[in-house]
Structure 1
């Protein structure tokens, strides 16, 4: 009886030991980026101008693991990761699309894995660098956890992921800005360390053009996103005060401001719009002359409760651009790929940069 009792006590203690060990390891190896990190800086001077029409693409590629066949446990589905064949097939299709659009001046990607269990250890940073040889790459981690224990019976495991910005033009410098604020302990040990990645380009009028790749928080009550908007807004105000132009693009995990559910259902009548998880961007942090740009031809994101069905899957718009008054936007369109290889769709914007004295 004593032996059986000891065994039962040991078995009862195992979950506690497992959780304790997981938290300890996560604490020891916690990724702790500084507030601002210098990614690159060059002494040579290369300039953009006010006569060229530039083009930029934003796309959260969902680590090539959230194609049309996938659902995801964190969104109410049951699956944790796609098959390896599925990930490689999605990655091939995503890469083909980017190569077919390699004339774009700038490409801003989110959720690009470097060595993660969920994407079978594929180094997507190296992969895209090889696929886009005419672009200069800039990468910043925003998710670096040695072991994510959820779900308990089929954990996500190791995650290394981040923002990847490509440019055909050489920036004077590139910086990673850590978003302040996070979830409470111990949850924050296993969540993303959100950031935005800024490329600074010299302009012929002696000012700069700042292109920012952002991926804001999800799965919060809105407070984190509000804090992040205020912080990002402070950065943008500083740039504008210095006379610089800016353009921000990425996955905001918020709908554009003034983008009401009724309007969405009218515009996107061929899709089912999500009116439940609806968080609009608060315009309070925006300065005078700033404008939001999104493609009104198709949604940019689908919810992952189930595999994708155009007739039943909830969709929304959370991938868009924010421009300063010195950026003249010519066109903005969402590329409808039917969510075949990611839970997001790419958005392409064309623009010109106005001179400082215009």
Structure 2
């Protein structure tokens, strides 16, 4: 009996050591191959144009978080607290993206901000969504960059997340001078970044007819409070140069309680993210832009920020009942002020 117990103890010890080695090797793999580019990288433009942005002329911009094409009404994403890890099938992704592109085209935008486009991700059957959309919107200059990447994630066991590459993408009817990916670091422990990597801003510079620049900032945030000061600093710096700034995308958190003149709610004023002399929100406060597929709760998380030298003419959220994404499209009509 004693020999048997000794052999059992040795066997259990060997199994534990092997399991520990596998875990350590996996952590080493994730840490070694984690996407961790420099804080600022320059990104190339595809299909660039030649025209500068006109002044005092109505223009249109659209933002849409397409949810990697998977978010049909019956899809409940695991990382958002649901049960589904991957889309139903490739046809669902293609159909959802096609319908969303129809919505985008209907708004006739000169500028488009898109978020959560997958490239070679397991959850979207390794589709190249930037390329798919580029082929349809082929009359625009375009640029895309990773918002975040995760190497092969093994949980949940049996139906793992796998490789995940989520991108931001901006389209312009005008010439693009320069694109930058600016990393947004998080105040978390190093091992937490293995599963919660840094995200980024996609900053695009477009010349205007009055020899300034229109600066586009495309974003999909998860912790808006942590990055408000960085965003505010960029906006104020560019405005001081007499440039125009449009921030568009998914702010990842409620931007409710916005007053009739589109000023920020009290919670954001407390974060000191409010400067009435420099910028203001352009948000449709009458229509929800985000639906939680698990609780069916809805909120306003998507919209724009304009510097004060941009005149807002109209802002509208499309009432699509969240048929193809858990977000809705938001469109604005605006003019760049000559002054």
Shorter-chain TM-score: which interval?
A: 0.7 to 0.9
Could you say if the C-alpha distance between residues 198 and 319 of structure 1 is closer, same or farther in structure 2, counting changes exceeding 3 Å? same
- Equivalent of 1:129, from 105, 130, 134? 134
Query: Which structure 2 residues correspond to residues 290-309 of structure 1 after superposition, within 5 A?
Result: 290-305=279-294
How far apart are residue 315 of structure 1 and its match?
A: 0.7
Give TM-score, length-normalised by structure 2: 0.88
Could you say if the C-alpha distance between residues 11 and 337 of structure 1 is closer, same or farther in structure 2, counting changes exceeding 3 Å? farther
User: 2:59 corresponds to which residue?
Assistant: 54
Query: Which structure 2 residues correspond to residues 1-358 of structure 1 after superposition, within 5 A?
Result: 1=4, 4-13=8-17, 15-40=19-44, 46-84=51-89, 85-101=91-107, 103-218=108-223, 225-256=224-255, 258-259=257-258, 280-282=267-269, 284-287=272-275, 288-305=277-294, 313-355=296-338, 358=339
Separation in structure 1 between the aligned mates of residue 155 and residue 187 of structure 2, nearest angstrom: 18
Q: Larger radius of gyration, structure 1 or 2?
A: 2
Please state whether the residue corresponding to 2:206 is helix, strand or coil. strand
Give TM-score, length-normalised by structure 1: 0.83
Contact 1:38 1:176 in 2 (8 A): yes
Separation in structure 1 between the aligned mates of residue 176 and residue 292 of structure 2, nearest angstrom: 35
Separation in structure 2 between the aligned mates of residue 41 and residue 126 of structure 1, nearest angstrom: 13
Contact 2:65 2:328 in 1 (8 A): yes
Separation in structure 1 between the aligned mates of residue 45 and residue 188 of structure 2, nearest angstrom: 32
Separation in structure 2 between the aligned mates of residue 11 and residue 113 of structure 1, nearest angstrom: 38
Could you say if the C-alpha distance between residues 10 and 87 of structure 1 is closer, same or farther in structure 2, counting changes exceeding 3 Å? farther
Could you say if the C-alpha distance between residues 88 and 8 of structure 1 is closer, same or farther in structure 2, counting changes exceeding 3 Å? farther
Gaps of 5+ in 1: 219-224, 264-277, 307-312
Separation in structure 1 between the aligned mates of residue 221 and residue 252 of structure 2, nearest angstrom: 6
Separation in structure 2 between the aligned mates of residue 65 and residue 279 of structure 1, nearest angstrom: 34
Please state whether the residue corresponding to 1:19 is helix, strand or coil. helix
Please state whether the residue corresponding to 2:34 is helix, strand or coil. coil
Separation in structure 1 between the aligned mates of residue 23 and residue 317 of structure 2, nearest angstrom: 43
Separation in structure 2 between the aligned mates of residue 328 and residue 286 of structure 1, nearest angstrom: 18
How far apart are residue 147 of structure 1 and its match?
A: 1.1
Structure 1 residues 281-316: Cα deviation after superposition (integer angstroms, max 9, x where no partner): 44613332411111133211111325xxxxxx1111
Could you say if the C-alpha distance between residues 249 and 32 of structure 1 is closer, same or farther in structure 2, counting changes exceeding 3 Å? same
Structure 1 residues 209-236: Cα deviation after superposition (integer angstroms, max 9, x where no partner): 1111111124xxxxxx323110111111
Separation in structure 2 between the aligned mates of residue 40 and residue 143 of structure 1, nearest angstrom: 18
Please state whether the residue corresponding to 1:255 is helix, strand or coil. coil
Structure 1 residues 76-117: Cα deviation after superposition (integer angstroms, max 9, x where no partner): 32222222143333233223333444x310110000001100
How far apart are residue 240 of structure 1 and its match?
A: 0.8
Separation in structure 2 between the aligned mates of residue 354 and residue 343 of structure 1, nearest angstrom: 34
Separation in structure 1 between the aligned mates of residue 178 and residue 206 of structure 2, nearest angstrom: 7
Separation in structure 2 between the aligned mates of residue 100 and residue 10 of structure 1, nearest angstrom: 63
How far apart are residue 15 of structure 1 and its match?
A: 4.6
